C-alpha cells in the first residue's frame, strides 16, 4: 500500500498530463483549429472534479489539517500560499467551464479567453505541483510525527475509499486518458523556471 504522500504525487503526474493536453489544445486553437465546446467542458470537468474536488480536497481536508495540527500555521506560511494558488486555479477553471457551456461555435473573444486562461492556468498549476513535490510534501514528511503520519495515512485511506468519490475519480481518470490522447502536449516544460529552491 502506497503512503498518502506518494498517492498525492501519483495524482500530480496525471494532472500534469492533462495540463500538457490543455497546452496542446490552446496551441491548436491559436493556430486556427476549431475546437468543440464539449472538449473545453471536459477539461473543466477533469480539473474541477479530479484536480480540485478530489486532489485539492484531500490536501485541504486531510494533509493541511494534519500539518496545522502539528503546529504549522495556516496563515502566512506555505499552506497559505498553496491555498491561495488553489483559489487562483479555480478562477481559471470557472472561466473554462463557462466557455464549455456556451452556445454555438467559439467567437474570436471566446478563443482569446480560452488561450489566455489556458496559458495562465497551465504554468500556475504545474509550478504549484512542483512546489508541493519538492518543498511542501517533503516538509510534511519531516514535520509530522510518526503517529501523526499514521493518522494521516488512515484519514487519506478513508477519503480515497469513499465509494462514490472513488467511482467519480476513476471516471475522471478515464476522461483524462481520452483528453491526453486527443490533444498531444507540446514539447518542453509546462512552466519556465525552476522552483525547487524558491521560497514559498
Judged by beta carbon, residue 74 or residue 101, the one nearer Fe ion is 74
The position carrying cell 506518494 is: 6
Least distance in angstroms from the C-beta of 130 to Fe ion: 10
Stretch that binds Fe ion, among 22-30, 114-122, 127-135, 189-197 (CB under 5 A): 127-135
- Size of the chain, expressed as the number of residues it contains: 200
Judged by beta carbon, residue 45 or residue 85, the one nearer Fe ion is 85
Least distance in angstroms from the C-beta of 70 to Fe ion: 18
Judged by beta carbon, residue 10 or residue 158, the one nearer Fe ion is 10
Say which residues have a Cβ less than 8 Å from residue 49's Cβ, sequence separation at least 6.
168, 172
Position among 118, 132, 144, 172 found at the interface with Fe ion (CB under 5 A): 132
Residue 45 binds Fe ion (CB under 5 A): no
Judged by beta carbon, residue 132 or residue 153, the one nearer Fe ion is 132
CA dihedral of 54, 7, 39, 107, whole degrees rounded to 10: 70
Helices (H), the chain: 4-30, 37-46, 57-58, 64-69, 78-101, 108-131, 137-143, 146-161, 163-182
Distance of alpha carbon 157 from alpha carbon 196, whole angstroms? 28
Least distance in angstroms from the C-beta of 129 to Fe ion: 6
Helices (H), 50-77: 57-58, 64-69
Stretch that binds Fe ion, among 39-47, 101-109, 130-138, 185-193 (CB under 5 A): 130-138
**Binding site residues, Fe ion, CB under 5 A:** 59, 82, 132
Amino acid at each position: 500500500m502506497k503512503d498518502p504522500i506518494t498517492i498525492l504525487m501519483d495524482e500530480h503526474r496525471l494532472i500534469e498530463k492533462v495540463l500538457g493536453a490543455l497546452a496542446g489544445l490552446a496551441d491548436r486553437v491559436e493556430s486556427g483549429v476549431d475546437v468543440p465546446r464539449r472538449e473545453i467542458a471536459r477539461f473543466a470537468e477533469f480539473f474541477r472534479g479530479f484536480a480540485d474536488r478530489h486532489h485539492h480536497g484531500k490536501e485541504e481536508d486531510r494533509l493541511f489539517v494534519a500539518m496545522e495540527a502539528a503546529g504549522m500555521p495556516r496563515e502566512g506560511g506555505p499552506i497559505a500560499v498553496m491555498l491561495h494558488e488553489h483559489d487562483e486555479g479555480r478562477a481559471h477553471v470557472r472561466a473554462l467551464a463557462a466557455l464549455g457551456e456556451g452556445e454555438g461555435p467559439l467567437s474570436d473573444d471566446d478563443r482569446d479567453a480560452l488561450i489566455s486562461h489556458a496559458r495562465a492556468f497551465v504554468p500556475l498549476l504545474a509550478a504549484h505541483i512542483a512546489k508541493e513535490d519538492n518543498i511542501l510534501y517533503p516538509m510534511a514528511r519531516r514535520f509530522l510525527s510518526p503517529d501523526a503520519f499514521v493518522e494521516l495515512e488512515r484519514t487519506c485511506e478513508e477519503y480515497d475509499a469513499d465509494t462514490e468519490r472513488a467511482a467519480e475519480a476513476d471516471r475522471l481518470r478515464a476522461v483524462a486518458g481520452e483528453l491526453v490522447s486527443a490533444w498531444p502536449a507540446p514539447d518542453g516544460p509546462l512552466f519556465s523556471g525552476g522552483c525547487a529552491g524558491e521560497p514559498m
